[in-house]
Amino acid sequence: MTRVSTRVWRGILVAFCALVALWLVAPALVVIPLSFTDKPSFVFPTTGFSMRWYENFFQDPTWVGSLLASLRVGLLVVFFATICGTAAAVALTRSKFRGQQAVRAVLLAPMIAPVIVVAIGVYAIFLRAHLLGTTFGFVVAHTMLALPFVIIPVTVSLQGFDRRLSSAAAICGASRWTSFRQITLPLIAPGVVSGAVFAFVTSFDEVVLALFIQSPYLQTLPVKMYGSVTRDIDPTIAAAATLILIFTTVITVAVAIYFSRRNHAR
Amino acid sequence: MAVVNVRKRSTDMGPDLIRTRRLESWSRLGLLAPAAALLLGVFLIPLGVMLWYTFTDPNPGLENLTWYLGDPVQRNVLLRTFTTAITVTAACVVLGYPYAYAMVAAGPRLRAVLTLLVLVPFWTSLMVRTFAWIILLQDKGPVQAALSALGFGHVALIRTNLGVVIGMSQIMLPFFVLPLYAVMSNIDRRLVLASSSLGARPVTSFRRVWLPLSLPGVGAGALIVFISSLGFYVTPALLGSPNDSLISQQIFTQVNSLLLWGRGGAMGVVLLGITLVILGVLMASARILTGRQDERVE
């Protein structure tokens, strides 16, 4: 009796999870076929097959320009956020000082503060400073949003780091920088790498702040997509979305391979 | 004063160790400076500017806040924002709890599949997913077709609050499932076995043992979902109706279209204030609850 009811419960759970799983992947499942439709509409299920929306994407300078802008901003954000975030994480874990909790809270605050609230303040300042639609403005604003996503994984890695190793390096005569570069950095690399990936995705994906600080001369890909969705029915956006999907999947798989190799090496 | 303390404590270690173990204040400052400067320039000062506008634009005084709190339209928007965030959170709990449980209970291969299925949307761009939901929920779209095939008749989805909730819950679900999974996978499953060997039926041992132990994960996940949902902009703007707008859309309109900085600022202050209060209250209550649990264990 109880065995039967456990089996029934398990069946219900499996069916339920299958439905939730379908719901989770449904968006990816519609975007890809839609990008190959042969009609200039969002009708789904699609008919026919054509590559014209991809041709459109790569021939339209505004789409290609926004993709390049997103990549440029994203890579610069990775560079600055990883360096600043790692440095901050080192300072926060390796020393104790007054006001440390407050500093940590402020550094992590961009993660929970509603982006729209930060965005109007940034917009006001950038408007005065003539930073709207500049790469500098995008990089600075996105680096701020990305910092917590670097600080958190790097802090976790540093907490698992045996500090006697840096002491040993110091006893062997290594300067603090040498010891960081040769001992600490290789050991906390997983945290730094995941922080860098998070930083890239945060910038590459960000819409709300970007909508405020964009200009017709500099639009990132999400901003261009937002404009396209609100203005016209054009499956080129499905091609753009599919390209983003492929791109993020490649990054995720590459990182997953990096981590599994690393674990095997141990 | 602090320097004196440091020197006192450091006497029991060798001088070489002190140098590597404790960064001196100037190098700590150097390490923190870039991040702090960024936060100051594009986070704290902007928030300050927003506060300044709230109380000065167009005239000095409280007029923006009194306008906001007195306007019935804005009160409705705030209420709708809250009910939407609560509905999304509830949907994530109902859909995510069994899913996280299945992730823990499954064998390694099924677990890998289930984890991958949560991570796919987690990594998929928000803009891409919102666009996909426009396709899915559009009139005569796949979801509507499926619903009418099941006999629900014609259900309006796009440009309704229901559509917004469906899209937002899908987008937020990974943020609920992942922390809950982390908590559940740390639960000692022998406790459940122990309770059933003491004669508890499966339902009882779930209710008395598993559920209380997994609650911290539910709390953490629900908190993230609720707070993010309060400030959501893109998804409600694209899936919802302009007549049913949420607070973030109102802020966007006030500042970007109407250039009413003071009013937009006032709404931003209210949204930020609500977020901080909820966060503070929930974290304090979590601290009290875990404190009590510790006492019980002792």
Q: Which residues of A touch B278 (CB under 8 A)?
A: none
Name the residue among B169, B170, B142 with its Cα closest to residue B157. Answer: B142
Chain A residues inside the 8 Å CB shell of B118: 24
Reported as a pLDDT band with limits 50, 70 and 90, residue A2 is low
Chain A nearest-CA distance from B123, in A, is 7
Put simply, the answer to whether A116 touches B42 (Cβ < 8 Å) is: no
Among residues B268, B252, B253, B95, which one has the least CA distance to residue B165? B95
List the single residue in B with minimal CA-CA distance to A197.
B123
- Which residue in A218, A225, A223, A220 sits closest to A240, CA to CA? A225
A contacts of B138 (beta carbons < 8 Å): 42, 44
What was the pLDDT predicted at B8? 43
Q: Write the pLDDT tens digit of every residue in B220-270.
A: 899 999 999 999 999 999 999 888 899 999 999 999 888 889 999 999 999
C-alpha span between A19 and A13 (Å, rounded): 10
Q: Which of B32, B135, B251 has the CB atom closest to A30's CB atom?
A: B135
- What's the whole-model pTM score? 0.88
CA pair distance B59, B218, nearest whole angstrom:
45
Exposure on the CB side of residue A205, measured as CA atoms within 13 A: 21
Question: Mean per-residue pLDDT for A205-215?
Answer: 93
CA distance A220 to A66: 5
Poorest-confidence range of A160-169, B86-95, B266-275? A160-169
d(CA B31, CA A120): 29
Q: Which chain A residues have a beta carbon less than 8 Å from that of B43?
A: 106, 109-110, 113, 118, 144
Peptide bond into A153 cis (omega under 30): no
pLDDT digits (tens, 9 = 90+) for B44-81: 999 999 999 999 988 898 889 899 988 999 999 999 99
